Chain A
């Protein structure tokens, strides 16, 4: 049944006011689906991922609903979420690798984690060791210290630990960003392998790197300034994106084979707007080469083809004013 997120709004309480980092976000991830979540830094990707599992004290849910496997996920209720975390919903946070305690053996960390969640280390050990081998590591890794492991080894350990109890939803936040290409590939293939083996049901892969998503994701969701910009199957987002932001993101990526002297790529001028008092209308307006008068209003996120949704006035022809208003 997967994950259903409906009109979710999450803000940070700050002294200067509310920062709405996830603003009216609606999407589904089906069972067995790997959804990529992309956008420039500061667009709200981590906030969205974190809100599904661990709201920090400054975060507030302003509205919306999250459903996992047909039942509501009580994301605002920290106490209730404790029963879900790690077992049902698991996250590999951004910088998880560097957060490993360097002076504690891997085995000790795993046993402490399991025990703190009320699980028995001894009985989980055979499965842990099986998965360690599956990802090409030695079982003696349990006796080693994180400091002795390379980035790729640490990331794989973190990934096995986070999925040991076969969670329904895995959120992987920038897990390949600090890795070399060969280990990036190994970790990317692991995401697919874990999905194929049903170690995880639905996966959300957060990254600013679209070329990784082109490899591992079934669908891609593009966020801009706290809002949804576009969602579609991976080949559609990469091959025929409709939102100007997605188009510009993709055209700014150098691919092997593209050379500066033959084909000069261009970046996206400017920066995403601040989310404390964001500008009205389309938030991409001041960077968008296609902006026109209609863009002074907030574009609705509408399905333009089956499975392909876009929030842009260039692609909202069929939208009745009522349909648009409903979204605001």
Chain B
């Protein structure tokens, strides 16, 4: 199990590091074995920073990250390598993880050199092939290919297969499906979900709520570096407490529910009926004078647009002014395994 306790990251910025940017503030959560935990937040909210701290790619400013009881901050040399044997990351852009002129088998060779120098080549090949097969790839399709000859989905799977060659217990997956077509994305998601049955703990970093909801047991909502809500996925999604979580849930584009649908009842009360799509702006004007109905939905649309723009504008401000150094209010438990930040502290 990997535990974060009151973890904060302040980046020094500006020419002489004179300014500071608190990218993550007081984050405390766990990544448990056999579970997928989603870390959901918009860009700039500190998701990757958290992932990098866990992977020791950047140091924490304060707080502790511990793996099976040991603070990982002090690990060096052999013990750090041991840590990486158990904790691995897969990142957003699969192409940057590779040098494009490399063939795919090279990424496996680097692991062998660091961790399994005494394993014979034939034994190693067997392991690589088994690992590729376990992520749904046919070794002959990918092994002798250059990386640019492979699809995004294939590359992501290769990276997961690489991590699986180690005895990993924790996998940090940072926005790994965002470059892949929806038609293959779901297979990579299923693969991550299936890692649970091997006892792995997965931290699934995404800005897409529907993906998080699909595969995770637990959900953490991050806003401007602050965990505003977290808990069992079903509870967070079915009974969101924080306004920010609620906003995210109404903004996420869905196939069968229109964005404006939630605001429609006032209009229906005025006798404007929807044409079955629930979108204001497509109302038939049955029982009302056409002009009156027209005005009604124009006013309504303006309201919908204004609300959407306001939430977007507040998100726009994320990176610039509103990030403060003030104390983060504590999370309170609203029901079993469901926590929310008290007051409008993160606002």
Contacts and interface: CB of A to CB of B under 8 A. Distances in A.
A41 to B, nearest CB: 6
B135 to A, nearest CB: 13
Contacts of A257: 213, 237
A265 interface: yes
B57 interface: no
Give the interface residue-count category, chain B.
35 or more
A254 interface: yes
A146 B259 CA distance: 29
A226 B171 CA distance: 38
B193 A256 contact: no
A247 B301 CA distance: 31
Contact of B183 (A152, A183, A248, A254): A248
B160 to A, nearest CB: 15
Contacts of A212: 253
B184 A189 contact: no
Interface stretch (A58-66, A163-171, A203-211, A293-301): A203-211
A153 interface: yes
Interface string A26-54: 00000000000000110000000000000
B283 to A, nearest CB: 13
Contact of A193 (B190, B248, B249, B301): B301
A33 B267 CA distance: 23
Given A254-B214, A256-B213, A259-B213, A266 B255 contact: no
Interface centre among B211, B213, B248, by most A CB within 10 Å?
Answer: B213
A252 B186 contact: yes
Given A182-B247, A256-B213, A265-B189, 16 more contacts: A40-B181, A41-B181, A150-B318, A153-B316, A181-B208, A185-B253, A185-B308, A189-B305, A196-B281, A196-B298, A208-B181, A215-B279, A249-B182, A252-B183, A255-B255, A267-B184
Interface of A: 40-41, 135-137, 148-153, 180-186, 188-190, 192-193, 196, 208-212, 214-215, 234-235, 238-239, 248-250, 252-261, 264-268, 271
Interface of B: 42-44, 151, 181-187, 189-190, 193, 207-211, 213-215, 233-234, 237, 247-249, 251-256, 258-259, 276-277, 279, 281, 298, 301, 304-306, 308-313, 315-316, 318-320
